């Protein structure tokens, strides 16, 4: 479908046209989104994937030039997710963002959705104001946690996974950065075999299955209100939990008896680039819930996925005593970075120059926030400022918490 100004109540004299995106738009999208943030932008790489997903890819066209883009994802029959709205730097403050948003709302209504949501950083006041003008309301706040690793630490974690319970490694031991280590013997135990050291986990971290629905719902419903993956969030409901299970993005940590102790949504392992060069790998774990020990096992699993992806990029294999709690969650072939669609070989020496990160978004009311802090994650914050600012929170230390606002509109 094509949206012109006649469809939208703003600046009817403008020659800007909102239409469905096409494959041939991709080079132009990549060009003007290349430097959206200091680390780049995901939109250029995601554009081709959006075209192949159920949903709407909308672009703004001005005199034959692509000047804006956005995506509407249908997360359930009734829920739409708005994401990736970008406007060419040379065409901002012309109402193009409003046009794209109005077109997104119209498309979602036409699809039969009854609610639309989007996420906006708390320091993005312009987008927050636009959301209010469009009748969105703030319904949740997510705080961002990050834990960074060096390649040397990822390699060293292999050895820690094989440490015996009686070897002196204790909960609370710290790594080289002074943060709590991730593999205490409560999670990892050594099993001596004739072939050398091997290891087994007191927890099994695996993709959730339908049989896990009841314990997942029992634990999650008491701790979180939304379930998200790849920065897309939908309401926590029995139907959406089952959708998350069937999608393969929800993982659980089960103890030796098979009891589910914790769960989280996992993304694939993604790449960070600077000047088109690979600078790091990261993975997102969100909607975290459950016991401390279970969450710790999930974090260790994420560390293992980062390590495996890095080794596959270098063409190497895991050490003989490595411990794999589960296969990689990605369906991409070895050596291929999920976001780029191209195979890039990285020397093992170059791995030392990469950054490795686990990101986690948690609702501000989630008990998992404290657990992540105990596991060495850092919470993103802003310097103290005008605390009367929309949706700002003054924390005990006197700094304004950074958060991601979850906005919702009834359609």
Which phi and psi (to 5°) does residue 335 adopt? 90, 0
| Residue 239 within any structural domain of the chain | yes
Nearest to 143 by CA among 359, 296, 292, 293: 359
Task: Compute the average pLDDT of residues 258-284.
Answer: 89
196 & 317 share domain: yes
Residue 409 and residue 129: Cα distance in Å, rounded? 14
Does 85 share its domain with 154?
no
Q: Taking the model in full, what pTM does it have?
A: 0.77
The enclosing domain of 34 has a CATH number of: 3.40.630.30
Q: Are residues 209 and 96 in the same domain?
A: no
* Band of residue 317 on the pLDDT scale cut at 50, 70, 90: very low
Do the domain assignments include residue 172? Answer: yes
Tell me: do 103 and 185 sit in the same domain: no
pLDDT computed for residue 272 by the predictor: 82
Q: What is the pLDDT of residue 182?
A: 53
Lowest mean pLDDT among 3-7, 84-88, 245-249, 286-290: 3-7
* Percentage above 90 pLDDT, the chain: 55
Give the residue-averaged pLDDT of 29-34: 91
Q: In which domain, by residue range, is 38 found?
A: 2-113
Looking at the fold, whether 93 and 154 belong to one and the same domain comes out as no
As for how many domains the chain has, the answer is 2
Place 142 in a pLDDT band, splitting at 50, 70 and 90: very high
Please state the rounded mean pLDDT for residues 242-270. Answer: 94
Answer yes or no: do 160 and 67 share one domain. Answer: no
Q: Identify whether residues 69 and 195 lie together within a single domain.
A: no
* Residue 96 domain-assigned (yes or no): yes
- Give the whole-angstrom CA distance, residue 21 versus residue 50: 9
What's residue 13's pLDDT?
58
Q: Is residue 135 part of a domain?
A: no
Residues 81 and 169 in one domain: no
Same domain, yes or no: 340 and 276: yes
Segment 350-390, tens digit of pLDDT? 888 899 999 999 999 999 999 999 999 999 876 544 444 33
Report the first-to-last Cα separation within the chain, whole angstroms.
20
Give the side-chain half-sphere CA count within 13 A for 364.
Answer: 18
Q: Are residues 214 and 311 in the same domain?
A: yes
The answer to the question of residue 388 being in a domain is no
Residue 241: per-residue pLDDT: 97
Most confident of 31-35, 89-93, 119-123, 369-373: 369-373
pLDDT in tens, 158-213: 656 544 333 333 434 445 445 555 543 333 332 223 333 334 458 999 999 999 99
β-pairing verdict for 79-87 and 115-121: parallel
User: Three-state SS for 182?
Assistant: coil
Output the pLDDT for position 160: 60
Sign of the torsion angle spanned by Cα atoms 387, 393, 399, 403: negative
Give 320-345 pLDDT, tens digit per residue.
Answer: 334 343 333 333 322 333 444 444 56
Could you report the per-residue pLDDT of 51-85, keeping only the tens digit for each?
Answer: 999 899 999 999 899 999 999 999 999 999 999 99
Read off the pLDDT of each residue in 390-406 and give the average, rounded to a whole number: 58
**Distances in whole angstroms, Cα of residue 295 to Cα of each of 308, 311, 340, 375, 380:** 20, 25, 30, 9, 20
Mean pLDDT across 283-305:
94
Distance CA 103, CA 234 (A): 21
Same domain, 259 and 158: yes
Does a structural domain hold residue 131?
A: no
Residues 6+ apart with CB under 8 A from 211: none
User: Would residue 184 count as lying in a domain?
Assistant: yes
Q: Are residues 106 and 11 in the same domain?
A: yes
315: pLDDT strictly greater than 80: no
Give the residue among 78, 83, 137, 84 at the shortest CA–CA distance from 113. Answer: 78
**Residue 133: inside a domain:** no
pLDDT at residue 38 in the model: 66
């Amino acid at each position: 479908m094509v949206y012109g100004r006649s469809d939208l109540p703003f600046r009817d004299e403008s020659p800007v046209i909102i239409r469905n995106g096409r494959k041939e738009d991709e080079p132009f999208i990549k060009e003007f989104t290349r430097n959206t943030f200091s680390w780049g932008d995901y939109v250029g790489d995601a554009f081709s994937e959006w075209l192949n997903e159920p949903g709407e890819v909308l672009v703004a066209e001005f005199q034959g030039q692509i000047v804006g883009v956005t995506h509407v994802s249908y997360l359930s029959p009734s829920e739409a997710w708005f994401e990736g709205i970008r406007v060419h730097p040379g065409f901002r403050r012309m109402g193009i963002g409003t046009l794209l948003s109005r077109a997104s709302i119209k498309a979602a209504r036409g699809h039969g959705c009854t609610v639309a949501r989007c996420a906006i950083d708390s320091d993005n006041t312009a987008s927050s104001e636009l959301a209010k003008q469009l009748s969105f309301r703030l319904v949740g706040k997510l705080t961002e946690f990050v834990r960074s690793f060096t390649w040397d630490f990822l390699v060293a974690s292999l050895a820690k996974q094989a440490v015996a319970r009686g070897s002196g490694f204790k909960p609370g031991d710290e790594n080289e950065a002074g943060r709590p280590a991730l593999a205490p013997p409560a999670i990892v135990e050594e099993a001596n075999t004739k072939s050398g050291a091997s290891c087994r986990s007191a927890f099994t971290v695996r993709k959730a299955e339908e049989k896990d629905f009841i314990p997942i719902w029992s634990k999650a419903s008491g701790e979180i209100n939304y379930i998200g993956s790849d920065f897309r969030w939908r309401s926590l409901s029995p139907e959406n939990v089952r959708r998350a299970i069937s999608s393969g993005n929800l993982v659980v940590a089960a103890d030796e008896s098979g009891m589910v102790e914790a769960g989280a949504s996992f993304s694939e392992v993604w790449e960070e680039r600077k000047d088109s060069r690979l600078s790091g790998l990261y993975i997102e774990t969100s909607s975290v819930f459950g016991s401390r020990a279970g969450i710790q096992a999930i974090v260790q699993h994420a560390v293992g996925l980062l390590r495996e992806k890095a080794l596959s990029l270098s063409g190497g294999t895991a050490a003989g005593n490595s411990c794999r709690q589960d296969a990689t969650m990605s369906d991409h072939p070895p050596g291929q970075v999920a976001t780029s669609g191209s195979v890039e070989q990285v020397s093992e020496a170059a791995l030392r120059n990469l950054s490795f990160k686990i990101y986690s978004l948690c609702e501000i009311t989630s008990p998992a926030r404290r657990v992540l802090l105990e596991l060495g994650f850092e919470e993103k914050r802003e310097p103290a400022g005008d605390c009367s600012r929309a949706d700002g929170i003054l924390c005990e230390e006197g700094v304004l918490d950074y958060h991601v606002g979850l906005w919702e509109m009834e359609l």
